[in-house]
């Protein structure tokens, strides 16, 4: 859920608007799996905003790691229980985020810029998976005449 959610920069504000837009779309047009993922993503986003310590450049972000592990379990449960493909892709991207945390944790001398790039790109990828899954669910309901 990463670092692209800092609201004090223009890219952070654009990322926040994108996040809110995709999650709102999922809440309005998605089915239960999309709504659960959107709710978990929004809760994780707010919790990440509270957990971030901007002044601590050298400590391991344990709170963010814990939030990302919880999100991995939520997406993994959705991938397991729902018959859709988008949660599998979202889970794979979230696993990439968790593994990036582990690489920093075990001190593999990974450049911190690479770490944040992975977190940001994976976050956008998860949002893309959620948006595509919501669109498919919405179209399936429309085709069935339920909407």
Task: State pLDDT tens for residues 81-132.
Answer: 998 999 999 999 999 999 999 998 888 777 878 888 898 899 999 999 999 9
- Per-residue pLDDT reduced to its tens digit, 39-89: 999 999 889 888 876 666 667 788 889 999 999 999 999 999 998 999 999
Asked if the model's pLDDT at residue 3 lies above 50, the reply is: no
3-state secondary structure the chain: CCHHHCCCCHHHHHHHHHHHHHHHHHHHHCCHHHHHHHHHHHHHHHHHHHHCCCCCCCCCCHHHHHHHHHHHHHHHHHHHHCCCCHHHHHHHHHHHHHHHHHHHHCCCCCCHHHHHHHHHHHHHHHHHHHHHHHHHHHHHHHHCCCC
């Amino acid at each position: 859920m990463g670092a692209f959610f800092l609201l004090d920069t223009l890219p952070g504000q654009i990322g926040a608007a994108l996040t809110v837009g995709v999650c709102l779309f999922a809440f309005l047009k998605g089915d239960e799996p999309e709504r659960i993922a959107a709710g978990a993503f929004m809760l994780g986003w707010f919790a990440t905003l509270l957990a971030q310590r901007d002044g601590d450049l050298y400590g391991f972000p344990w709170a963010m790691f814990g939030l990302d592990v919880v999100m991995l379990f939520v997406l993994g449960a959705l991938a397991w229980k729902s018959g859709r493909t988008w949660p599998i892709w979202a889970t794979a991207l979230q696993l990439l985020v968790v593994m990036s945390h582990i690489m920093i944790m075990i001190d593999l001398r990974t450049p911190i810029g690479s770490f944040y790039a992975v977190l940001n790109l994976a976050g956008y990828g998860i949002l893309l998976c959620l948006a595509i899954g919501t669109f498919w669910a919405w179209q399936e309901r429309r085709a069935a005449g339920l909407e």
